[in-house]
Amino acid sequence: MQYRRKSNLLCFILIAGMIISFSQLYGQDKGSFSGGFVANGNIFIRDSLIGAAGIPQYDQELFGSEVWLNLNYRKSGYDLRLRFDAFNNSNLLNPNSSYTDEGIGYWYISKQMEKLGVAVGYIYDQIGSGIIFRSFEQRPQLIDNALIGGKLTYKLGENWDARAFAGRQKFLFGRNPAEIKGVSIEGFVNLADSTSTKAFSLAPGIGFVNRTLTEETIETLVDVIKNYTPQDQIKPVYNTYMLSVFNTLSYGKFNLYTELAYKTPEVFTDPFQTRITILGDEVEGRLVKEAGTVAYGSLAFADKGIGITLEAKRTENFDIRTDPTLTQNFGLINFIPPMNRLNTYRLTSRYSPATQLISEQAIQFDVKYNPSRKLGFNVNFSNITDLDGDLLYREIYTEVSIKKKRDWLLLAGLQLQSYNQEIYEVKPEVPLVNTITPYVDFLYRFTRKKSLRVEAQYMLTEEDFGSWVYGLAELGMAPHWIFEISGMYNIAPSKNSPTDVNGESLKILYPTLGVTYINKSNRFNVRYVKQVEGVVCSGGICRLEPAFSGVRMSVSSTF
Amino acid sequence: MKFIKYITLVSLFGVSACVEQMVMIPENPTIDTERVVLLEELTGVDCPNCPKGALAAKEIQANFPGQIVVVAIHGEFLAEPLSTSNYDFRFPEAEDLENYLKPWDGKPAAAINRTEVEGSSEFSETNTDLWQGIVEDELAKTHVLNLIADVNYNPDTRTVQVNTAGNPLVNLEGDYNITVMLTENHIIDAQKNVSVIIDDYEHEHVLRMFLTPFDGTFFGSNLGAGELYNNGFSGTLPDEDGTWIAENMEVVVLVHRVDGSHKEVMQAFITDVTE
């Protein structure tokens, strides 16, 4: 640990020094220097009634924070980046525990030399839509899957690019085991003849990724598998190969994206399989060895005032991690696109389906129609099942927008959902959650600088916590101030709602009060928050988070 | 044509090294040692995956007979009785012990000899598949302390008297405590199991009470090899209510470090209350 801290410090000084000396060495060509700073602070106020208790932050620590500082410098084809991360009693990594550490979270150096590009450090990248490889950062859940290693890019021609990379996946300030190597070629072919006004092109690509497990991981797998009865025993492999072929076909107003991915047989944990122990007991979940496939397609049509998108996806056994014993969002080296609408309102986003990696088939249909500048319609339908056809999630979402010049904007609609809480939240004996949620969002501009936005939503359901009503008022005083007050009220509680000493369900108000101050590129935010337990999704990745009670502060700045 | 050429190149790269030596799966090992390992299972009746943890512990005990002591801790988290529960296994010291073993990621989890999980600052492992590997590592360590206990149970007064003797085999630096717990087997009561509630689930190794503070009482400092450390503890069982059946109860004794973040168990011992 001590060694890592020293090497982190050394690394920080080295790269910061390089950034400074680069900017001084080439005095004439100063390049461009930029950066960003984000800090979050939490004050945890214990509230055992809503379940905000039982973790160190509520019971002992009381305060927590996270800090990220980015420095970037670009000059003469060089790109230098550095990020310092610090976590203090943070609940981002695991909402049920506390995490404290600090150090260099990211550094990156790249140089473009005509057709050849080289990069080393922490690399964020993806192949196709990310189905066989994606390294990315998702701060709200402290996912930072950067690939620590090197990358080469080469321009094969005017419209063709090749790239190769190798490294290990970052985990916090260390590395996950397994070596990851990949190559890809992507291009663009214009098929339209020179006299045509209609676009007609292909953007094909192919990617190949290899993941090699470490000897230590294989030993761990062997330790597990040797306890299995002979019929359940499998032989792990060090190497897994993944291939993805993808293409975007553009023809006039149509766009068709398709991607097919295949993974050679490898060992992963299937929570839906059972095994029999040596004592004859049945245990849910076991390591299996299977090949995997994903087929994904998206057809889009866009014309004046109308946009239609149809998406379909089928996933089978595509859970690829740096270590097959890792679970939840840990160690994933790929990203499979979600197939539901990314909702933003408090109640319409309360039940969000996490992408299923073992067994999922889904379709999504979205239509946007704007007959005039003042009027717009949006209808979205998504249906997700497992490969046996059992319903996981269904949503029908409608929205109407009416706008009166710059004076006001009204958005209103209705959402219908069916949500398989048993699968998504691993809650036993719970039925499908069926909801009906009307909502309205009204923005009124008093002057060019002063505006008021009001939201109202009602979620009707008999399942989970029962029905909710939500209201928000947000006063904007441009360019500096935003004041917010909102409340989520459990108007018709159900069996999962908090209860009093007599076991009676309680009608609880979860209020939020907040103020935001913006000064140029600096943003300061303070909010008092009481938040019910629920699924939190960011960038299509979801997890179940416990209730929160306390004060959240954030500062963000770019320079 | 260019595209096909590139695809061919990529494919050649891909298949160039696809052959590897097959991994062999060995038999379960037998570890010849006097060491007895403590497996503290963090569990709860409201925990949907905890029966899986109980099965994992049971399987490990079967693989290493007489070498594993299991204690099921029903602390605070996911341990509140279900609507069909007849009993409440929680008590303040169990909650204290659950907190003492924090941080942990959730339940089920097992603290195995209270050693830090490799690559983590946590004392417990949530992946039940990995428990046996940790147990094997602990069994493979050098046996450093003999520990035995003699139990006298008076059925009339329901008092339990436990006399312990510890004998270090090597010099052991640091401070050590001794903890004595009582556990109970064969309690039939409700338990969540993934998507159902099993009303007649058989709970095993349920932590019921301590004869010492939850984190133990002083055993010794800088223990000398060959020295004998004797202690005596007593307690009274509550009246039977369908549980607290002396014949189903066991005495668990452990000697463990208490230096700062060092909590590791040197040796565990188990015997019946009515031996």
Distance from B12 to chain A by nearest Cα, in Å? Answer: 11
CA separation for the pair A278, B127 (Å, rounded):
19
Question: By the CB < 8 Å criterion, does A77 face chain B?
Answer: no
β-sheet bridge partners, residue A5: none
Judge: A283–B56 Cβ closer than 8 Å, yes or no.
yes
pLDDT in tens, B147-170: 999 999 999 999 999 999 999 999
By C-alpha distance, which of B106, B110, B112, B74 is closest to B191?
Answer: B74
Is B211 in contact with B160 (CB distance < 8 Å)? yes
Question: By the CB < 8 Å criterion, does A191 face chain B?
Answer: no
Residue A140 confidence (pLDDT): 85
pLDDT at B2 over 60: no
Q: Measure CB to CB from residue A278 to each of B14, B62, B104 and give the nearest one.
A: B62
Question: By the CB < 8 Å criterion, does A229 face chain B?
Answer: no
**Backbone φ, ψ for residue A461 (5° rounding):** -160, 150
Looking up residue B111, the CATH number of its domain turns out to be 3.40.30.10
Per-residue three-class SS string for A91-158? CCCCCCCCEEEEEEEEEEEEEEECCEEEEEEEECEECCCCCCCEECEEHHHCEECCEEEEEEEEECCC
pLDDT at B18 over 70: no
Distance from B197 to chain A by nearest Cα, in Å? Answer: 8
Residue B260 confidence (pLDDT): 76
Give the best residue of A1, A159, A221, A226 to mutate against chain B (max B CB count within 10 A): A226
Residue A14 confidence (pLDDT): 60
Find the range with the poorest average confidence among A94-98, A379-383, A396-400, B222-226.
Answer: A94-98
Tell me the chain A residues in contact with residue B132 when contact means C-beta distances shorter than 8 Å: 223-224, 227
Question: By the CB < 8 Å criterion, does A174 face chain B?
Answer: yes
Residue A538 confidence (pLDDT): 66
Q: Measure CB to CB from residue B130 to each of A208, A220, A285 and give the nearest one.
A: A220
pLDDT at B199 over 70: yes
pLDDT band of residue B12 (cuts 50, 70, 90) is: low
Q: What is the mean pLDDT of residues B126-144?
A: 92
Tell me the chain B residues in contact with residue A279 when contact means C-beta distances shorter than 8 Å: 58-59, 62
pLDDT in tens, B23-68: 888 887 777 889 999 999 999 998 888 998 999 999 999 999 999 9
Distance from B196 to chain A by nearest Cα, in Å? Answer: 5
pLDDT band of residue B197 (cuts 50, 70, 90) is: confident
Q: Which two tokens mark A304?
A: 């004046």
Residue A24: enclosing H or E segment and its boundaries? helix A2-25
By C-alpha distance, which of A487, A441, A494 is closest to A467?
Answer: A494
Decide if B219 is inside a domain: no
Judge: B3–A189 Cβ closer than 8 Å, yes or no.
yes
pLDDT band of residue A26 (cuts 50, 70, 90) is: low
β-sheet bridge partners, residue A399: A378, A413
Q: What is the mean pLDDT of residues A264-273?
A: 90
pLDDT in tens, A307-366: 999 999 999 999 999 999 888 888 999 999 999 998 999 999 999 998 999 999 999 999
Decide if B203 is inside a domain: yes
Decide if B124 is inside a domain: yes
Strand (E) positions, A254-385? 254-276, 282-303, 306-316, 359-369, 375-385
Judge: A427–B48 Cβ closer than 8 Å, yes or no.
yes
For residue B131, give its domain range. 33-143+177-210+239-269
Of all residues in chain B, the percent with pLDDT exceeding 70 is 92
Residue B107 confidence (pLDDT): 85
Tell me the pLDDT of chain B averaged across its residues: 89
Find the range with the poorest average confidence among A182-191, A280-289, A358-367, B167-176.
Answer: A280-289
Residue A10 confidence (pLDDT): 56
By C-alpha distance, which of B88, B259, B89 is closest to B175?
Answer: B259
Residue A3 confidence (pLDDT): 46
pLDDT at A22 over 60: no
Decide if B37 is inside a domain: yes
Decide if B249 is inside a domain: yes
Burial state string for B42-78 with b = 16 or more CB within 10 A and e = fewer than 16 = bbbbbbbbbbbbbbbbbbbbebbeebbbbbbbbbbbb
Question: By the CB < 8 Å criterion, does A279 face chain B?
Answer: yes
pLDDT in tens, B231-268: 999 999 999 999 999 999 999 999 999 987 789 999 99
pLDDT in tens, A38-61: 999 999 999 888 878 877 788 888
Is B263 in contact with B257 (CB distance < 8 Å)? yes
pLDDT band of residue A1 (cuts 50, 70, 90) is: very low
Q: Which two tokens mark A311?
A: 């998406």
Residue of chain B nearest A503, judged by CA positions:
B83
Decide if B164 is inside a domain: no
Is A554 in contact with A58 (CB distance < 8 Å)? no
Name the DSSP letter for residue A231: G
Judge: B13–A183 Cβ closer than 8 Å, yes or no.
yes
Residue A382 confidence (pLDDT): 97
- Chain A 81-100, CB below 8 Å of chain B: which residues? 94, 96-98
Residue of chain B nearest A174, judged by CA positions:
B119
Q: What is the mean pLDDT of residues B105-116?
A: 89
pLDDT at A19 over 70: no
pLDDT at A147 over 80: yes
pLDDT at A473 over 80: yes
Distance from B3 to chain A by nearest Cα, in Å? Answer: 8
Classify residue A549 by burial, with Cβ atoms within 10 Å: 0-12, 13-18, 19+.
buried
Give the best residue of A101, A191, A223 to mutate against chain B (max B CB count within 10 A): A223
- Chain A 283-342, CB below 8 Å of chain B: which residues? 283-285, 287, 325, 327
Angle CA(A363)–CA(A368)–CA(A370) in degrees, nearest 5? 170
Is B108 in contact with B41 (CB distance < 8 Å)? yes
Q: To the nearest 10°, the Cα dihedral for B131, B135, B136, B141?
A: 150
Distance from A299 to chain B by nearest Cα, in Å? Answer: 23
Q: How many CB pairs under 8 A join A and B?
A: 121
ipTM metric: 0.77
Residue B78 confidence (pLDDT): 83
Give the best residue of B5, B10, B18 to mutate against chain A (max A CB count within 10 A): B10
Tell me the chain B residues in contact with residue A187 when contact means C-beta distances shorter than 8 Å: 2-3, 6
Q: Measure CB to CB from residue B2 to each of A160, A220, A279 and give the nearest one.
A: A160
Domain count, chain B: 1
Residue B13 confidence (pLDDT): 57
Decide if B232 is inside a domain: no
By C-alpha distance, which of A426, A419, A413 is closest to A344?
Answer: A413
Strands A254-276 and B159-168: unpaired
Q: Measure CB to CB from residue A96 to each of B58, B105, B129 and give the nearest one.
A: B105
Is B43 in contact with B53 (CB distance < 8 Å)? yes
pLDDT at B105 over 90: no
Decide if B250 is inside a domain: yes
Residue B3 confidence (pLDDT): 54
Of all residues in chain A, the percent with pLDDT exceeding 70 is 93
CA separation for the pair B3, A205 (Å, rounded):
9
Residue of chain A nearest B46, judged by CA positions:
A428
Residue A18 confidence (pLDDT): 60
Q: What is the mean pLDDT of residues B112-134?
A: 85
Give the best residue of A163, A429, A543 to mutate against chain B (max B CB count within 10 A): A429
Cβ count within 10 A of residue B96: 16
pLDDT band of residue A20 (cuts 50, 70, 90) is: low
Question: By the CB < 8 Å criterion, does A220 face chain B?
Answer: yes
Alpha helices in A312-452 (DSSP H): 421-424
pLDDT at A486 over 80: yes
Tell me the pLDDT of chain A averaged across its residues: 90
CA separation for the pair A119, A149 (Å, rounded):
8
Q: Measure CB to CB from residue B6 to each of A185, A283, A429 and give the nearest one.
A: A185
